[in-house]
Amino acid sequence: MFVITPKYKYKLIEVLLVLISFEVGIFIYFSPLLRAKVLSSPFFLFSVMYWFYAIFFYQPMSLVEFGLHLENIFRNLFLGITLAVGLYILWLGYLYLTQRSICLPHYGGSLLVVISLILIPLFEEFLFRGYAQNRLKGIFPPLARIILISIMLAGYKWAIHFFRMQSFLKFCDIVGISFVGSLICSYTLERTKSLITPIIIHIIWDSLVYISLSTLPWWMI
């Protein structure tokens, strides 16, 4: 049973408002409505502005509280690379056994590749784990934080792909894999106290998936 004090209650409300408003904006943005991009703007602005206000003015977070520090940097880098490669191998095995492929959008331009494989993973890690997961310390125990953040991140992926997935199984693949991957990244954050490890896992994982989708083996076609 959790007993949430008024101080922590406001923190929880703050985190939920930031994440939910952002995900609602994402859902509206990717809808087929022509006016969706304009309608999504207020949700994005509120989410980002409230997020910045919370971490810089309301209850400031230091870089260390975000998990950005150099302590055990080489161990964390090695752990991130190892887990990313391991997850990728498991993903390939899963696709082979199910004889299915996940058709993610292919980005041809170099700028879009940088945005998709580096900047977006960085933003997601800063928002969901650096900010939200660390902000929930003192409110929930580690396991509850890991599960809650993974549910929120899976919901974010659901919002992105909801209108673009024509197959329900592929849609479940996207959300399910995002949830499992988030569980592992969130667990490494709790264990290492460093955001570097989940960032490395996320960027390398996305890069390996992008490469494999660019040159599909015969059993992924």
For the stretch 105-117, pLDDT in tens is 454 556 666 777 8
Lowest mean pLDDT, pick from 108-112, 149-153, 192-196, 214-218 = 214-218
Helix (H, G, I), strand (E, B) or coil at 86: helix
Predicted confidence (pLDDT) per residue in 122-139, tens digit = 999 999 999 999 999 988
Mean per-residue pLDDT, 26-32: 88
Beta bridge partners of 140: 137
Q: Which of 157, 212, 199, 215 is nearest to 73 (CA)?
A: 199
**At a CB cut-off of 8 Å and minimum separation 6, what does 117 contact?**
203, 206, 207, 210
Q: Which residues contact 118 (CB under 8 A, 6 or more apart)?
A: 203
DSSP code, position 106: P
Q: How far is CA 219 from its chain centroid?
A: 28
CA-CA-CA-CA dihedral for 184, 189, 194, 195, to nearest 10: 70
- Using 50, 70 and 90 to split pLDDT, how confident is the model at 64? very high
Q: Find the angle CA(160)-CA(106)-CA(147) to the nearest 5 degrees.
A: 35
The pLDDT, as a whole number, for residue 31 is 85
Contacts of 109 (CB under 8 A, 6+ apart): none
User: In the prediction, which pLDDT does 219 show?
Assistant: 34
Q: Looking at the predicted structure, is the pLDDT value of residue 11 above 80?
A: yes
Residue with tokens 């494989």: 117
Q: What is the pLDDT of residue 97?
A: 76
Per the prediction, the chain carries an average pLDDT of 84
